[in-house]
Structure 1
Amino acid sequence: MDAMTDRPVPSVLTGMKRGVRHRCPNCGEGKLYSRYLKVEFDCEACGHHLAAYPADDGPAYFTILIVGHLFVAPLLLFPFIWQASPWLVAPLTILPLAALTLMLLPRVKGAVIGALWANGLRKASDAPGG
């Protein structure tokens, strides 16, 4: 419990799980996005100000880190990557990796927003008392 407000301290894992599901980290019910990566201004279910969380470049960085380390690096271990024609390898690797990156980016951004929510990190202009 938070001593100042008598409400439970939010869990980082809870916020991240809600964000990965594209839901408001505060209530878990409202939509997080109005478009592909455009965060809703306020939650439609609880009224929480969602635009206050500055995800910035973090989600892109983490998405590249995940795709690069978990998929690209192991792919380089297969001999066909080095032996086949580049005209065959390029589209067979770049297109799925681009699709995977575009699929992961909103989920990672939601997780980052959920972690920011749980830790109480907001834009300075949206901080309580600021």
Structure 2
Amino acid sequence: MSTESHQMPSSVTVALKSCCPACGAAPLYDGFLTVKPVCGHCGADLSVADSGDGPAVFIMMIAGFIIVGLVLWVEFTWSPPYWLHALLWLPMTIALPLLLLRPLKSWMIAQQFRHKAREGQLDI
């Protein structure tokens, strides 16, 4: 099946389902973050997809905003002891980025696929 014979799924759908950005039917990953080289359903070449450090930047901004905001709110509202802060925020600091990583990487790959982004080349 060619990728032009049907409509591509939205980038949000790809992010939430971690599916192929061309057909939306097959899984995007082999394992936790390893992108499959080829879609098992439509045959789309996924080897050109490289999200690089993009998801990490967004995760730092999003998770940092949420966690720091909550830490400050809890501190100024209840002033708990430091051990309680550690008990609350260390697990959240680990869990939230891990929960955001796959969807944000999937979203960035979907955006690259949709806009046919490739590595830059110089014409000399």
Q: TM-score, normalised by structure 2?
A: 0.80
Count of aligned pairs between the two proteins: 116
Give the ranges of 4+ consecutive aligned residues of structure 1 lying more than 3 Å apart after TM superposition.
none
> Percent identity among equivalent residues?
30
**Segment drifting more, 84-93 vs 20-29:** 84-93
Identify the residue that residue 79 of structure 1 maps to in structure 2: 75
What is the correspondence of 1:17-56 to structure 2 with a 5 Å cutoff? 17-56=13-52
Identify the residue that residue 4 of structure 1 maps to in structure 2: none
Structure 1 residue ranges without an equivalent (≥5): 1-6, 126-130
C-alpha distance in structure 2 between counterparts of 1:122 and 1:50, whole Å: 12
Greater relative CO, 1 or 2 (CA 8 Å, sep 6+): 1
What is the correspondence of 1:47-126 to structure 2 with a 5 Å cutoff? 47-69=43-65, 71-75=66-70, 76-79=72-75, 83-123=79-119
Deviations 1:36-94 (A, max 9, x none): 0110110000111112112000011111111112x123211233688322222112111
Structure 2 residue ranges without an equivalent (≥5): none
C-alpha distance in structure 2 between counterparts of 1:101 and 1:26, whole Å: 26
Contact 1:17 1:114 in 2 (8 A): no
Q: TM-score, normalised by structure 1?
A: 0.77
C-alpha distance in structure 2 between counterparts of 1:49 and 1:16, whole Å: 20
Contact 1:24 1:32 in 2 (8 A): yes
- What value does the CA root-mean-square deviation take over the aligned residues? 2.4
Contact 1:20 1:107 in 2 (8 A): yes
